[in-house]
Structure formats: structure tokens, C-alpha cells
Amino acid sequence: MKDQKRNRRLRIVVCKPGWLMILVYAVTFSSAHTSMAGGEGHWPDWRGPTANGHSDATGLPLNWSETENIVWKTPIHDDGYSTPVVWGEQIWLTTATKDGRTLYAVCVDVNTGAVVHDIEVFHPSEPQHINPNNTYATPSAVVEEGRVYVHYGTHGTACLNSKTGEVLWRRTDLNCDHIQGPVSSPMLFDDLLIVHLEGGDVQFIAALNKMTGETVWRYDRPRDLYEGVEPAYLVKAYQTPVIVEVDGKPQMLSNGAMLVTSHDPRTGEELWRVRYRDDSTISRSVVSGRRSIVVLTQAIMPRRGPIGRSR
């Protein structure tokens, strides 16, 4: 039993919406291939340590059933589409009641499947309407040593002590009309927690001090670009940004409605922009070298953007 536990270094976590379930698969392989690209046992962002979904782990199972390769199953109450994130022995995810009046953060022990924390983080008095195919707990959390950050879009953003479950700070004043409900996940960069709130009424990016929750900078999308655009859903967006390094300096790529912008993530300063005609962008940009692929919801002609140069 001890040998099996010692070899179970990497877990693949699958979140099933509706009757939410976490499945953890038994994996046995050499210690030389146990890292998750950013440190053993850590998958801190919904797209992993490098924000691109890549892991250098090998020996993963290709088949499973209700019994094969299953270590444990744990049902999670209510509804949520958030992707579980992992730090060491903890798995964190969010869930919410169907009416959106109670928003939870849930922590599960990675070895046993036992629920460690089940925290009621927010109680919105008047939750916004959402698409029936969405949930109030769709944005994924981000986690680091000692802290987990949860985001429910306009309904609230919070930081919790990952060991005790104590809520360290909350924000409920970062608001927009999502129209279809919240989707965009938060992102950590240095000492900042960056969130996107791009609705049918306002569209902005906010960087919060991750220790206190205070706003460090805010960038508003250009109002002249969206004025007169109808219906309102044409100016909303649901994407999560990505950080790239260009000539030794970080850039944050953010694809909103009708344009993609690059920012200095420390200050929010816009470095360049490329316009397009599409709305409701959802997918996180994919970066390879000095190229970025922005996935839209309609077909358009290829466009070029000056990655690495200010506009």
C-alpha cells in the first residue's frame, strides 16, 4: 500500500458538471517524469503552470472505466464548470447553487478524495440571469502556496487561506452585465491578481494586489469602438489573458470583443492592438514563440499584429 501511494505522483483531475465528480487516476511511473511542468504536484491555473495545458508527465493511463484506474470518487454538490486546480495535496474548485444565491469554494484531499473545505464565499442578493447552459461557478480558481483565489465574475472575487479556509479579502464592486453569466478565469502575475470583466455595458481589466485585494490598475476598453454597437452581446467577451515574454519583457495578451490588445501586466499600459470584427471571444490565446493564435467565433481574413513592438 505504501509503495502504491509513493508511486502515485501525478493525478489527472476531471470535473464533470451537473452531478459534479472528481476522478483521480492511479499513475505509476519513475520519479524522473513526475513533474507537472511547473513543479511536482502543482497545477495552479486551469491551463497549468505554463498556461498552455502542457505537462511533461509520461506514463499516463489511456483507458478507464467505473473501476479501472480509479483511485477515488467524490461527489461535489450543486453546479459548476470550473476546472479543478492543484497545489500539493489540495484540489480546489468552485460550485454554486442553481439560483446563484450561494457561491462555494471546495477543497478536496488529493490522496483520499475527502472534502477538506467547503466554504460559502458569497451570497449574492440578486444574481444576474445566466444562460441555462452556464453556471454561476464557471470561472476556475488559481492557487499558490498558502492562498487560493476564486472569481465569480460580477458576483465577487475573493482570496482564501488554503490551509484554514478563512476568507482573507473579498471584492464585490467589480461589476459588469455578463448577459450569459461569468466565464473568464483570474490569473496571477507576480503580486497581482488579474481579472477580466467584459459585459454588454462595461468592458475592463483590473489588477488587484493579491495580498489585500486593492485595485492596482484598471484598463477600460476603448468606448469609441463599442459606441452604437447593437445588440449588447456583441461587445462582451469571456476570455482569460495569457502572459508572454518578448525581448525579455512580459506582455499580457487579451482578446476582447473586436480587438486583441497587449499590455504591460505590471501597469496595464496598452502596448499595441489589432482590431477584428468578432464578438464574444472565449478561448485563451495560444502562443508559440513570437506568434499568437487568437480563436474567434466567426471566420475572418488573417490579420497581422506587431507582437514585440509598441503601436
Residues of the domain holding 60: 1-185
Query: 124 lies in a domain?
Result: yes
pLDDT at 306: 55
- How far the first Cα of the chain sits from its last, in Å, is 60
Query: How far apart, in whole angstroms, are the C-alpha atoms of residue 121 and residue 131?
Result: 22
CA separation for the pair 83, 138 (Å, rounded): 8
> Has residue 276 been placed in a domain?
no
Q: Residues 265, 189: contact at Cβ < 8 Å?
A: yes
Q: How far apart are CA 69 and CA 24, in angstroms?
A: 8
Q: Where are the alpha helices (DSSP H) in 62-181?
A: none
Looking at the domain assignment, is residue 94 inside a domain?
Answer: yes
Q: What is the pLDDT of residue 14?
A: 42
Q: Is 166 a domain residue?
A: yes
The CATH number for 45's domain is 2.40.128.630
Q: Distances from the Cα of 307 to the Cαs of 176, 205, 256, in angstroms?
A: 29, 20, 17
CB 216 within 8 A of CB 207: yes
Q: How far is CA 65 from CA 9, 14, 103, 155, 302, in A?
A: 21, 13, 31, 37, 43
Longest CA–CA span in the chain (Å) reads 65
Task: Please give the pLDDT value at position 189.
Answer: 96
Cell of 16: 464533470
**Domain contains 266:** no
Query: Is 295 inside any structural domain?
Result: no
Task: Tell me the one-letter amino acid at 124.
Answer: P
Q: What is the model's pLDDT at position 55?
A: 79
Cβ atoms of residues 167 and 160 within 8 Å: yes
Pairwise CA distance, residues 150 & 167, whole Å? 10
User: Total domain count for the chain?
Assistant: 1
Average pLDDT per run of 10 along the chain, which is 311 residues long?
A: 36 40 41 38 83 78 83 92 94 97 97 95 97 96 98 98 98 96 95 95 96 98 82 81 87 86 95 77 67 57 53 45
**How far apart (Å, rounded) are the C-alpha atoms in residues 248 and 114?**
43
pLDDT score of 132: 94
CA gap 71, 244 in Å, rounded: 36
User: What's residue 60's pLDDT?
Assistant: 80
In this prediction, residue 48 carries a pLDDT of: 81
For residue 13, what pLDDT is reported?
42
Long-range residue pairs from 1-7, CB within 8 A, at least 24 positions apart, any chain: 4/28, 5/111
Nearest to 10 by CA among 68, 86, 83: 86
> What gap in Å lies between CA 279 and CA 199, rounded to an integer?
11
Which helix (H) or strand (E) is 292 found in, with range?
strand 291-293
Task: Identify whether the C-beta of residue 10 lies closer than 8 Å to the C-beta of residue 34.
Answer: yes
Q: Is residue 197 assigned to a domain? A: no
Q: Examine residue 222 and state whether it is found in any structural domain, yes or no.
A: no
Q: Looking at residue 20, what is its pLDDT?
A: 39
The alpha carbon of 101 is separated from its chain's Cα centroid by a whole number of angstroms, namely: 21
pTM: 0.82
